[in-house]
Amino acid sequence: SFIIFNGDITDRQNAKVDIEDRGYQFGDGIYEVVRIYNGHPFALTAHIERFFESAAKIQMDISYSKEKIESLIYALLDKEGKSTASLYLQYSRGISVRNHVIPKNINGTLVGYLLDGERPVALMENGVSAIIAADTRWLHCDIKSISLLGNILAKSKAVEAGCTEAILHRDQIVTEGSSTNIWIVQDGELITHPANNLILNGITRQQLIMIATQHDMPYTEKSFTVTELLHADEVFLTSTTLEIVPITIIDGKKIGNGKPGAITKELQKLFTLSIE
Ligand code: PDD
Give the model's pLDDT for residue 212: 98
Which amino acid type is present at position 185? V
Give the model's pLDDT for residue 134: 98
Instruction: Give the ligand 1 atom nearest the CA of 207.
Output: 13
Pocket test for ligand 1, best of 36, 174, 180 (most atoms within 8 A of CB): 180
Give the model's pLDDT for residue 271: 98
pLDDT tens sequence across 113-159: 999 999 999 999 999 999 999 999 999 999 999 999 999 999 999 99
pLDDT tens sequence across 149-161: 999 999 999 999 9
Between the alpha carbon of residue 170 and those of residues 1, 42, 213, 218, 227, the distances in Å are 41, 32, 29, 26, 13
The answer to whether the CB of 34 is under 6 A from ligand 1 is no
- Assess contact for 241 and 252: CB atoms under 8 A: no
| Mean pLDDT score of the chain | 98
- Which ipTM was obtained for this model? 0.99
Distance, CA of 145 to chain centre = 11
pLDDT exceeds cutoff 90 at 224: yes
Instruction: Give the ligand 1 atom nearest the CA of 88.
Output: 21
pLDDT tens sequence across 67-91: 999 999 999 999 999 999 999 999 9
Give the model's pLDDT for residue 235: 99
pLDDT exceeds cutoff 90 at 276: no
Q: How far is the CA of 228 from the centre of ligand 1 (A)?
A: 23
What lies within 8 Å, CB to CB, of 157 at 6+ separation is 131, 133, 166
Catalogue all structural domains in the chain, each as residue range(s) with its CATH number. 2-116 (3.30.470.10), 121-275 (3.20.10.10)
- Take atom 18 of ligand 1 and give the residue whose Cα is closest: 240
The residue annotated as part of the active site, out of 66, 79, 82, 144, is 144
